[in-house]
A and B are shown apart, each in its own frame.
Chain A
Amino acid sequence: MEPTVAIEDLRIEYRSRDLGEASKVAVNGLNLVVGRGEVFGFLGPNGAGKTSTMNVLLGFVPPSSGTARIFGVDVREPIARQRIGYLPEQTYYYKFLTAEELLRLYAGIFHIPVAEREARVGAVLKLVELEHARNRQIKTYSKGMQQRVGLAQALINNPDLLILDEPTSGLDPLGRMKVREIIQRLKNEGKTVFFSSHELGEVETVCDRVAILHQGHLKAEGRVTDLVAQHAANLEQVFLKLVGYASQS
């Protein structure tokens, strides 16, 4: 069976805008496979190359070398994004639109037939518990509500792969719990979830497998239970060890 995400020897390099300054290598020689129905945690300290990798998967940045495929389709092809849902770290939506209008816009982009569109919009709004505010402009929403609109837009096309960039960042404990519940529900539905997070306790609870990235290199990859058993420590301690913190202290 074709893996959901397949990254082979990926290198991402940013050319410097300043004359004479060397280009910056964000990711080097990354190989990663995410299978169907997995909840995959993508971890690493700031600047490790997580967002750059996600940017390649989403087609924002072309890889300098190597390949990245989603459902067997090169990520440079817009059609590769037909079955993806993406939730950015912060809420970036047209704040002059209502949640309903925003979701209709994205439903239109995914060519969801008009007859199905309203039902789909209603279903995702119900899932993220925003039915009561569906006709209010997004600018009037609280941060938690905006994050939930983000989740709703990521789910509008009933995606088979969800890419979540720090989905619980800035949320209160209740908001975090709700996001976790939604991820769990998606996992039960057989969806693949690829997400980055700094909340290692959360990752340990939710993820099947994790990859730890540091300075553009893959430091570890495997099942959470295996990593924890192998290092005889919890995920946070494993993470700190792999990124070199433990050896410095």
Chain B
Amino acid sequence: MNTIWALAKVVVLEMVRRKDFYVLFILTVLLTGTAGSVNLFNDRSIVRYLKEICLLLIWLSGLVIAITCTARQIPAEREQRTIFPLLAKPVTRGQFLLGKFLGCWLATGLALAVFYLFFGLISATREQHWPVLNYLQAAWLHWMMLGVVVAFTLLGSIVFAAPSSNGTICFVVSVGILLLGRHLNKVALDLAQPWQSLLYGVYFVIPHLELFDVRDLIIHNWELIRWEMVALATLYAAAYAAFFLFGAWWVFRRRPLN
């Protein structure tokens, strides 16, 4: 665990010292700050609409940070050859992958915490109340969902050589699942065989990232989700992340390094 933790810390340090995170954060802060501070005619629905836009920005930023940070890890290690002195030490390839996963996931969590804290503060000043537990549930599920995204991006970074192509594919797949995932079974009903079975198969196999999207909890101040359901969703995300990480290890374990 020491080794995995040591590797994860390097990834977090890298994100903290790179400029791209700050650019994205400042952009989101500017947009969130501008939109969140508007309260036209004291109309609550407008505030809600603006909150929706701000949360969408946070979701997009979260995805971009998770995917770009993860997609470059292994290709950069190979290209800059930092992987050689590292694997010349008693580090297994499995530990290397887990360290990268943990680092990217923690770095993404750190970014999310900053985003949600800022958004919460802005919202609280507009609405004069701050449902902490709602924020906590929404941010936690968001982070779990990004754990799955980080894991499959890591797998993609071993399969696809270029970080840009991997990043684009993972982003399209993630957004595709978020937007269409829940409708695939209905679409399948209208198709002829074998496409119907194929689409049903896809529906049951893909990780349903949209399940983790509980932005309405914050936007409409809905009641809290039952904690057992949150725990179940966490397990669901952990199972998919483990599956993708296993796949990454399987592909990477015998792959030549140069």
Contacts and interface: CB of A to CB of B under 8 A. Distances in A.
A110 B6 CA distance: 10
Interface string B1-27: 011011101100110011000000000
A236 B139 CA distance: 67
A105 B90 contact: no
A97 interface: yes
B221 interface: no
Interface string A126-166: 00000000000000000000000010011001000001000
Counting contact residues on chain B (CB < 8 A from A), the size range is: 20 to 34
A88 B83 CA distance: 11
A12 to B, nearest CB: 11
B104 to A, nearest CB: 15
A25 to B, nearest CB: 16
A97 B13 contact: yes
Nearest to A85: B88
Given A81-B90, A92-B82, A93-B85, A60 B257 contact: yes
Nearest to B91: A109
B76 to A, nearest CB: 10
Contacts of A90: 81
A149 to B, nearest CB: 10
Nearest to A105: B6
B6 A59 contact: no
A109 B3 CA distance: 5
B10 A94 contact: yes
B87 A60 contact: yes
A59 B88 contact: yes
A109 B90 contact: yes
Given A78-B92, A94-B10, A59 B81 contact: no
Contact of A108 (B3, B81, B257): B3
A157 B91 CA distance: 14
A96 B92 CA distance: 24
Contact of A81 (B81, B88, B256): B88
B89 A109 contact: yes
A108 B14 contact: no
A58 B89 CA distance: 8
Interface of A: 14, 58-62, 78-79, 81-82, 84, 86-88, 90, 92-94, 96-97, 101, 105-106, 108-111, 150, 153-154, 157, 163
